Amino acid sequence: MRTPWMHWVLAVIITLISAIYQRRTGPTYPARGTVSLGGQDIALRLLRTHSITARQPVTVTVADSSVTGAVEWRRFPTSDPWRTELMVRAGNELSAVLPPAPEALMPMAGKLEYRVKLTRGAEQVVFPDRPAVTRFKGDVPAWVLIPHVFAMFFGMLFAMRALFAAVGGGDTRRWGYATTALLVFGGFVLGPIVQKYAFDAYWTGIPFGYDLTDNKTLIAGVAWILAAFQLRGGRQAKVAVVVATVVTMVVFAIPHSVWGSQAKW
């Protein structure tokens, strides 16, 4: 009983690490950093994804009332001239919104690049050095988003469990079939529905585009479909299971939303 228990512990740890890595390294994770102005450190956190139903807030907490701020922004990717929106102070917070009123709200997959400029007397700092890019998306209802996330997470978890079964002498068929079912359902059934709600397109990977999220789902799904084919007839197909798991680990190491849907201006 000890070996299966250890296999589950390792599978959960590896899956959680992979999920956290994807989340924190992806292009939608907030741009974070600290700048120094007037002898004080100011922490910044700039959002890089937002709903199309509202304007994205840009806020900086700085108690020194002599510090003023502005947001420089433009559509991405374009060579539009930079536009400047002055930040308004309310207590210890400087704030602005993107796009500023009376600009129209952003379309699905519309992107803006922006940076914050803080000034105190003759001193001035800009963050980040390379402008942050934010993408706007439609709201995805919980009834499809939660099962999608659930299926993809447990698909990865069961893939790791299948790997340990293959190298440790366990039954690969149970976990191999479960992984295939979860990845196919989560990636090819629920995934396109999520994509449609968020970016008004069911599929933007091969052959219609280069969205790495869709393409890595495609690669992992095909790898497990082939493995499931090898598992038929009661076979353990350990090599096929190991290969499918390694392929899944590699493609899912790619940060989420890289080369994602993008509006054409």
Domain hosting residue 121, numbered range: 38-137
State whether 150 and 240 are in the same domain: yes
**pLDDT tens, 226-257?**
999 999 988 999 999 999 999 999 988 877 66
User: Could you say which of 107, 137, 167 is where a domain stops?
Assistant: 137
User: Could you say which of 111, 137, 163 is where a domain stops?
Assistant: 137
Assigned domain for 48 exists:
yes
State whether 91 and 49 are in the same domain: yes
State whether 58 and 118 are in the same domain: yes
Q: Is the peptide bond between 207 and the residue preceding it cis, with omega within 30 degrees of 0? A: yes
Residue 62 CB: number of other CB atoms within 10 A? 23
Distance CA 134, CA 42 (A): 21
State whether 124 and 174 are in the same domain: no
Name the nearest CA neighbour of 226 among 234, 237, 216. 237
**pLDDT tens, 128-156?**
999 999 999 999 999 999 999 999 999 99
User: Could you say which of 115, 137, 159 is where a domain stops?
Assistant: 137
The domain that contains 47 carries what CATH number?
2.60.40.10
Residue 170 CB: number of other CB atoms within 10 A? 18
Identify the three-state secondary structure at position 140: coil
Assigned domain for 31 exists:
no
Beta-bridge partners for 97: 57
Looking at the 3D structure of the chain, how many domains does it have?
2
Distance CA 181, CA 186 (A): 8
Predicted confidence at residue 253, as pLDDT, reads: 82
Average pLDDT over residues 50-54: 97
**pLDDT tens, 178-201?**
999 999 999 999 999 999 999 999
- Mean pLDDT rounded to a whole number for the chain: 93
Reading the block at residue 251, the tokens are 């493609």
Assigned domain for 259 exists:
no
Name the nearest CA neighbour of 216 among 133, 122, 152. 152
